[in-house]
Structure 1
């Protein structure tokens, strides 16, 4: 099990946090971003990420290392690295090129992708010939493609060309990635249970977590029913859920009325999503593959002197302070929540 301590660039010191789960989840979330956005080992396509063919990466075993990282993230409670193209996952699950389903949208190169789409969508012979001529710079170098393309065999050209550019050409990268995924037995588990592929491939429409979903994850830890505090705590839950809904609907700015916000606050508002709130409370912007342990909770603290929500990510707790300021019928609670999220540093950055 990894135990993580973050270092502060500003103060040249370690953050004051023992790793009981929260810092590890935060580290894994940052690691997923580094793998798919910053490493240069993948390229984006309309259907998700596919390995970028890089000889130096192959020689250094980078794709194998990334596979081990992904296995570790899944087994040790990080959010699933679900950014791969479905065609890549097809090959990982089956290990057989002939079992891979491909479309032009699996190709990263926009010119190549659009040219193959034109071949696929051509309705007239003249249109088909023009589209095929755009592929002449490479198609004669790929053995097995039709030399004479007709309306009857154009789909064979498209399918096999996509298969070549997305899988055959990058097979060594994919095989290294698969070797890395055998770490912790993740590969065998995946092949025995193909439904687990959802841990890897990007959803068809990734709109992020919905406000209601996040609200359902954070279970309120109420005082006993009938106590003086219970009604105030229930009101705080209503305020919290309204905040989440405004974030999802991009209506949070409207709740501040005439309040003057800083430039940083205005900029942060534009990027804020319900996933930020979950990350603030747990260190993970998505539900980990193995779920949250312990169950995330909303904790209520009666304190008139503190207003900004805080989090205990190791315990998966979001702490809300119940007092005159946060319960007032104005924008006080929403502004406190916004400031807290902004000051959450990396734990509020997605």
Structure 2
């Protein structure tokens, strides 16, 4: 069935974000201009060059043996560098580069010494050590401003262009990315960022790797996006052929666009990490996605029922029973364009479970409302179904299932 987008959008002109320099609450629509002026006043010097462009590729030469200095975690200073002092951008970038280099060597030493070879375990360790600032996923907006973020504004209609411009302008890629789509009021507690990476990875594959566009100058920023998406629970960059992956990580003198891709990956040390810890190449290797089964989605979307024996619980179980029947129809292909992956995406913004799992486990809740359209909160991975108000009756099954179709077929509804 065809469904027009149903989006409840907050007025973005009323949404404010705290300035990282002066700590004033600034309207999102004015934030970009304010940050430029405010940063100029605080530091007098503002570089728009990303960290990876300032460092030379030779600064990340693969070690033939580990550095003789002690790279243990105890010796590393906090990853977050204060920005309320008089350091110039160049001085700060030098410190950031040195700290990242030491952190990466520490991760390599740790995994080698402890014989950690599972790519999932390695990724979990390096994510913990490299990503800094605000937590990647938050349970509510009460803690939205706890911890620094890289705040970016992107346009769904021109996502590649706006994303490339925003990512290129970032100076410290280690910070948690906070994504805001133009004219959408969703506060990014984790959901919009995951959606951003999922759409971006699909669009990059179509434009740059299917087939490969060797002449493009965009591969360095694409490498940065690959590294960011891996480290920040986004979609894995499994969009290259095995031959290209071999050239990327094994060939001594690759083509120029591959060199650019390496440089982008190494803005977060990922080229060195893969070369030193070869099992990480699994994160790039194309594989067939694991289909979402009825058992998988019902395990992920566990219902939160009211108190045992209550009338509310009885009503919730009736709704849940209908939902299970709907899921079985979707799993067998009897709901048109709706499949189980779309149901999961509606609640979590992703069509498959992330490689590190969900930080906040998905859940299914019930609420008394007039509308029987399901709603979703992708920041906290929650699907909400309607219980009829005041003990009322559910709609006929066909009508109720049409409400489900309308929601799950929609590109944006519920992805808030």
Question: What interval of TM-score do these two structures reach, taking the shorter chain for normalisation?
Answer: 0.5 to 0.7
Corresponding residue of 2:210? 43
| Shift of residue 338, structure 1, vs aligned partner | 0.9
Corresponding residue of 1:301? 367
1:319 aligns with 2:384: yes
Q: Counterparts in 2 of 1:23-62, with a 5 A limit?
A: 23-37=192-206, 39=207, 41-43=208-210, 51-54=212-215, 57=216, 60=217, 62=218
1:177 aligns with 2:272: no
Corresponding residue of 2:345? 279
Q: Please give the per-residue CA displacement for 1:29-83, whole angstroms capped at 9, x wherever unaligned.
A: 111111101x3x2125xxxxxx3432xx1xx3x2121111111111122122222
Count of residues paired in the alignment? 242
Q: Counterparts in 2 of 1:249-268, with a 5 A limit?
A: 249-252=332-335
Contact 1:310 1:319 in 2 (8 A): yes
Corresponding residue of 1:330? 397
Larger radius of gyration: 1
Q: Counterparts in 2 of 1:188-199, with a 5 A limit?
A: 188-199=272-283
Alignment root-mean-square deviation, CA: 3.1
Question: Separation in 2 of the partners of 1:279 and 1:272?
Answer: 11
Contact 1:209 1:274 in 2 (8 A): yes
Three-state SS of the structure 1 residue aligned to 2:357 is coil
> Could you say if the C-alpha distance between residues 89 and 217 of structure 1 is closer, same or farther in structure 2, counting changes exceeding 3 Å?
farther
Q: Counterparts in 2 of 1:137-152, with a 5 A limit?
A: none
| Deviating more after overlay: 180-189 vs 324-333 | 324-333
1:210 aligns with 2:377: no
Contact 1:212 1:245 in 2 (8 A): no
Three-state SS of the structure 2 residue aligned to 1:301 is strand
Q: Counterparts in 2 of 1:144-163, with a 5 A limit?
A: none
Q: Counterparts in 2 of 1:225-236, with a 5 A limit?
A: 225-236=308-319
Question: Separation in 2 of the partners of 1:277 and 1:347?
Answer: 10
| Shift of residue 314, structure 1, vs aligned partner | 1.3
Corresponding residue of 1:75? 231
| Shift of residue 240, structure 1, vs aligned partner | 2.6
Question: Separation in 2 of the partners of 1:189 and 1:325?
Answer: 58
Corresponding residue of 1:88? 244
1:21 pairs, out of 186, 190, 209, with 190
Runs of 4+ deviating beyond 6 Å: none
Question: Separation in 1 of the partners of 2:199 and 2:359?
Answer: 19
Question: Separation in 2 of the partners of 1:4 and 1:241?
Answer: 38
Normalised to the residue count of structure 1, the TM-score between the two structures is 0.60
Q: Please give the per-residue CA displacement for 1:198-237, whole angstroms capped at 9, x wherever unaligned.
A: 322221x346433432332222222233333233333433
Could you say which structure has the greater relative contact order, defined with CA pairs below 8 angstroms and 6 or more residues apart?
Answer: 1
> Could you say if the C-alpha distance between residues 295 and 65 of structure 1 is closer, same or farther in structure 2, counting changes exceeding 3 Å?
same
| Shift of residue 284, structure 1, vs aligned partner | 1.9
Unaligned runs of 5+ in 2: 1-148, 158-180
Contact 1:306 1:321 in 2 (8 A): yes
Normalised to the residue count of structure 2, the TM-score between the two structures is 0.51
Contact 2:342 2:409 in 1 (8 A): no
